[in-house]
Amino acid sequence: MRIIAGSKRGCAIAAPKGLDTRPTLDRVKESLFGILQFEIGSKRVLDLFAGSGNLGLEALSRGASFAFFCDASRTATRVVEANIQKLGFENRSKVLNCSFEAAIAALARSGERVDIVFLDPPYASGLHEKALLALRNSGILAPEAILIAEHDPARPPALPEGLTTYDQRRYGEVALSLIREERP
């Protein structure tokens, strides 16, 4: 797995071993960042269910100002920490080894705001909906925040009131839904 573009283009990053983590495919990542190319610069991102940190690290390489990485697996967060150190992003990132609920609550308590959220839990876990609701209710979403949910194409996440899908793309067995708060 590699960083595709930006300041760390071509740098290899590690992924946790085993079947618990499903890294985003390079072609999906490339397409996603093509869609977001004008949205990334100087933004604060949250890589929820981070796994290797692939998406948040790509965002940092492409000019995001800061990235929070959250994963409940200590194995995964160790890999994220090693990738951050390898790429030299220690001053532009923070790793949270806890549940998504605890991470969102901690960010809310500290008054943090995020512009982009990458949301990639296990597809059949039911966590998309829980995480979207927690994000919507937390107060951490900046105005115009973009939430990107990677999911099974046959099962787009059910959105809580106040959120809407404004774009959806399919890449074989993977789909991306781009979500924003509804505008009055």
In order of start, what are the domains of the chain with their CATH numbers?
26-181 (3.40.50.150)
Compute the distance between CA of residue 149 and CA of residue 128 in angstroms, rounded to an integer.
7
Please report, in tens digits, the pLDDT of each residue of the chain (184 residues total): 899 999 999 999 998 876 455 566 678 889 999 999 999 999 999 999 999 999 999 999 999 999 999 999 999 999 999 999 999 999 999 999 999 999 999 999 999 999 999 999 988 788 999 999 999 999 999 999 999 999 999 999 999 999 999 999 999 999 999 999 987 6
Phi and psi at residue 27, to the nearest 5°: -70, -35
The reported pTM is 0.94
| Cβ neighbourhood burial of 72 (10 Å; 0-12, 13-18, 19+) | middle
